[in-house]
């Protein structure tokens, strides 16, 4: 569990006195002249109300660099007439949570074009080290965040411990799972998408309510992120560790694919919507500048290496995919389904991924991605085989190509981390899913939702049926929660942590199941 002293610091907002206490050492280093492009009039001497209502975050760590994020409250800026101006945010990084040993200070400009958010890349740090950070504007001090750089490329750390999670529909439940996640001792957190949901307020009975109609414009996407990010549990989880994020569909529109929306929109209308959605995503996520969107395009696939122990390829299976075949949904196969032109990755990402799977020398090779890779065979009322066309089941030839590449290139210990379907799964990824005796090439862990679909239940009739029909499926659970991964050179341990109740505040945390993979033996076993 987390050091309670530090955790308290996050929950207590900063004060002017905190800043003055460290001001002696920091003030000199914060000289404007040392900040390229920083205008003297961009630093506020005072501000009328607290500007850090959305908290702080960090992300995309490297051996010597982390990204620090915050976004200033527009009403606070308005109190001093600065809401249309660039504003300088000062930041401090320290080795300790009391900021006695400050190691880096600097500034970033929050511009109105990006809604006064910053994602500052702070370099010159030591590999594999824990840091604490905070921001300062107009004498107000933000909550304290904790972050960590990754190990140096040539090092093999003894262990890495992280968590992965997805799907946080604000209406369906409280973010109790995030409250528990914030108290785990983690090197980082991966969010696999559905960070927001685009829907208007539902007319069913929900515990909380979206504000406004289905979101389409930049301001509407921004307002939705503000609503989610105002949640104290989500803020605490961001402050507790750095996040590595990728998006799924609901950050834009349910089940969108490349230029195709779910809704009745022209391609031009949808690209404008995508542009707005990507800009808002970038504004609210702790992403590198390399992920800054350019119109309707955003670079999200990327790779993060943790010394020689692990490499994570973060994928984007929405932006470049062919449209879901056979009219989407859960459908019988059709000619498009098995066309070699169907791709969920798109050509460039596929080449990048396959090259990485071939070249990597890391002991564990994880893919952090959105939709289920394992084949799930369903049977409809007429007795026909059906496939969920929004998942890799809609793109079976590319799935085979990926699994074959892992096998042929002898990629060490491939592990796929998946979100999207609001249920926990463990699967064997087979060379030939039709032949249960064929080689297991990789392991897939699917994490459930944090809140989407409400409380859920341990087992469902559908879950039982799918486990029975698909022998490469090893585990199912339909409750809310997240998965932790403890990775050492010899063993990968995934713990499925569930919160049985999210429709009432204060749900407790349980470890529902633990699965391990031994080095060199793909396929997880229950511990
Ligand atoms: Fe979802």
Lookup: tokens for 519: 């080095």
Lookup: tokens for 232: 């104290």
The whole-number pLDDT of residue 204 equals 82
Lookup: tokens for 116: 């006064």
| CA 231–ligand 1 middle distance (angstroms) | 18
| CA 354–ligand 1 middle distance (angstroms) | 27
| CA 261–ligand 1 middle distance (angstroms) | 16
| CA 518–ligand 1 middle distance (angstroms) | 30
Q: Within a domain: residue 161?
A: no
The whole-number pLDDT of residue 320 equals 97
CA nearest to 182, candidates 55, 68, 299: 55
| CA 482–ligand 1 middle distance (angstroms) | 13
143 and 199 co-located in one domain = no
**Is 72 in contact with 133 (CB distance < 8 Å)?**
no
Helical (H) or strand (E) element with 278: helix 267-284
Give CA–CA dist 479/95, Å, rounded.
Answer: 38
| CA 197–ligand 1 middle distance (angstroms) | 8
| CA 228–ligand 1 middle distance (angstroms) | 15
Question: Residue 337: what are its φ and ψ, rounded to 5°?
Answer: -55, -40
Angle at 72 between CA 248 and CA 239, to 5 degrees: 60
Question: Residue 436: what are its φ and ψ, rounded to 5°?
Answer: -60, -20
Give CA–CA dist 16/486, Å, rounded.
Answer: 39
Q: Within a domain: residue 168?
A: no
Lookup: tokens for 186: 């983690």
Q: 355 vs 88, 405, 441, CA distance in Å?
A: 41, 9, 17
| CA 390–ligand 1 middle distance (angstroms) | 12
| CATH number reported for the structural domain that contains residue 40 in this entry | 2.60.40.380
| CA 455–ligand 1 middle distance (angstroms) | 14
Lookup: tokens for 379: 């049977």
438 and 387 co-located in one domain = yes
Which residues constitute the domain of residue 265? 174-526
| CA 372–ligand 1 middle distance (angstroms) | 12
| CA 312–ligand 1 middle distance (angstroms) | 22
Give CA–CA dist 90/428, Å, rounded.
Answer: 48
Q: Within a domain: residue 164?
A: no
282 and 416 co-located in one domain = yes
Burial class for 267, CB neighbours closer than 10 Å (0-12, 13-18, 19+): exposed
Walk along the chain (527 residues) in steps of 10 and give the mean pLDDT of each run.
55 46 33 39 90 98 98 96 96 98 97 97 98 98 98 96 98 98 98 97 90 96 98 98 98 93 88 97 98 97 98 98 96 97 98 98 98 95 95 98 98 98 98 95 98 97 92 97 98 98 97 98 96
What residues sit around ligand 1, an ion, with C-beta below 5 angstroms?
A: 167, 194, 452
The whole-number pLDDT of residue 378 equals 92
The whole-number pLDDT of residue 205 equals 86
Domain boundary among 130, 148, 166: 148
Residue carrying structure tokens 């029909």: 469
Q: Within a domain: residue 86?
A: yes
Q: Within a domain: residue 158?
A: no
| CA 419–ligand 1 middle distance (angstroms) | 8
| CA 198–ligand 1 middle distance (angstroms) | 11
260 and 409 co-located in one domain = yes
316 and 420 co-located in one domain = yes
106 and 178 co-located in one domain = no
| CATH number reported for the structural domain that contains residue 218 in this entry | 3.60.21.70
Give CA–CA dist 23/18, Å, rounded.
Answer: 8
Q: 386 vs 182, 337, 338, 393, CA distance in Å?
A: 39, 11, 13, 9
**Is 186 in contact with 165 (CB distance < 8 Å)?**
no
| CA 180–ligand 1 middle distance (angstroms) | 20
C-beta atoms surrounding 80 within 10 Å: 17
**Is 243 in contact with 56 (CB distance < 8 Å)?**
no
Q: Within a domain: residue 159?
A: no
């Amino acid at each position: 569990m987390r050091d309670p002293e530090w955790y308290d610091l996050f929950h207590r907002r900063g004060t002017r006195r905190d800043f003055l206490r460290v001001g002696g050492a920091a003030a000199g280093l914060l000289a404007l002249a040392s900040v390229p492009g920083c205008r003297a009039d961009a630093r506020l001497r005072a501000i009328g109300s607290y500007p850090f209502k959305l908290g702080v975050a960090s992300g995309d760590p490297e051996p010597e660099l982390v990204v620090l994020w915050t976004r200033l409250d527009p009403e606070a800026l308005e109190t001093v007439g600065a809401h249309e101006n660039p504003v300088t945010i000062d930041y401090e990084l320290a080795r300790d949570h009391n900021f006695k040993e400050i190691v880096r200070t600097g500034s970033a400009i929050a511009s109105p074009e990006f809604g006064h958010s910053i994602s500052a890349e702070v370099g010159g740090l030591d590999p594999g080290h824990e840091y604490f950070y905070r921001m300062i504007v107009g004498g107000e001090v933000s909550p304290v965040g904790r972050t960590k750089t990754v190990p140096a490329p040539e090092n093999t750390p003894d262990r890495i411990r992280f968590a992965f999670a997805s799907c946080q529909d604000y209406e369906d439940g409280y973010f109790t799972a995030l409250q528990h996640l914030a108290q785990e001792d983690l090197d980082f957190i991966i969010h696999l998408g559905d960070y927001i949901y685009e829907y208007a307020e539902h007319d069913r009975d929900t515990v909380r309510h979206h504000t406004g109609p289905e979101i389409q414009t930049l301001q509407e996407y921004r307002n939705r992120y503000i609503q989610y990010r105002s949640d104290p549990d989500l803020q605490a989880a961001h402050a507790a560790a750095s996040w590595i994020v990728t998006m799924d569909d609901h950050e834009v529109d349910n089940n969108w694919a490349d230029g195709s929306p779910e809704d009745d929109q022209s391609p031009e209308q949808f690209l404008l919507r995508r542009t707005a959605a990507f800009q808002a995503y970038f504004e609210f996520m702790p992403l590198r500048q390399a992920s800054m969107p350019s119109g309707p395009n955003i670079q999200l696939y990327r790779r993060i290496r943790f010394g020689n122990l692990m490499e994570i390829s973060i994928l984007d299976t929405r932006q470049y995919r062919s449209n879901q075949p056979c009219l989407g949904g859960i459908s019988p196969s059709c000619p498009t389904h098995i066309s070699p032109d169907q791709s969920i990755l798109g050509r460039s990402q596929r080449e990048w991924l396959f090259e990485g799977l071939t070249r990597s020398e890391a002991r564990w090779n994880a893919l952090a991605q959105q939709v289920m890779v394992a084949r799930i065979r369903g049977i409809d009322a007429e007795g026909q085989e059906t496939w969920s066309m929004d998942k890799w089941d809609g793109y079976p030839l590319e799935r085979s190509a990926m699994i074959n590449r892992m096998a042929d290139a002898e990629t060490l210990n491939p592990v796929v981390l998946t979100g999207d379907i609001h249920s926990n799964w463990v699967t064997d990824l087979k060379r030939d899913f039709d032949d249960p005796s064929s080689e297991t090439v990789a392991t897939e862990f699917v994490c459930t939702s944090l809140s989407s679909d409400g409380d859920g239940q341990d087992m469902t009739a559908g879950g039982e049926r799918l486990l029975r029909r698909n022998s490469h499926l090893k585990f199912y659970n339909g409750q809310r929660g997240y998965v932790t991964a403890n990775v050492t050179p010899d063993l990968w341990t995934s713990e499925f942590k569930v919160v049985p109740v999210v429709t009432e505040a204060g749900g407790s945390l349980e470890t529902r199941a633990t699965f391990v993979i031994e080095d060199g033996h793909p396929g997880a076993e229950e511990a």
